[in-house]
Amino acid sequence: ELKVEQNPLFLSMQEGKNYTIYCNYSTTSDRLYWYRQDPGKSLESLFVLLSNGAVKQEGRLMASLDTKARLSTLHITAAVHDLSATYFCAVVPFSGAGSYQLTFGKGTKLSVIP
Partner 1 sequence: GAVVSQHPSWVICKSGTSVKIECRSLDFQATTMFWYRQFPKQSLMLMATSNEGSKATYEQGVEKDKFLINHASLTLSTLTVTSAHPEDSSFYICSGKQGSQPQHFGDGTRLSIL
Q: Which residues of this chain interact with partner 1, rule CB under 8 A? A: 33, 40-43, 45, 48, 88, 98, 100-107
Q: How far apart are CA 75 and CA 18, in angstroms?
A: 7
- Residue 64 or 88 with smaller CB distance to partner 1: 88
Residue 93 near residue 103, CB atoms below 8 Å: yes
Shortest distance, position 63 Cβ to partner 1, whole Å = 14
- Residue 25 or 33 with smaller CB distance to partner 1: 33
Residue 63 near residue 74, CB atoms below 8 Å: yes
Q: How far apart are CA 92 and CA 98, in angstroms?
A: 9
Shortest distance, position 43 Cβ to partner 1, whole Å = 5
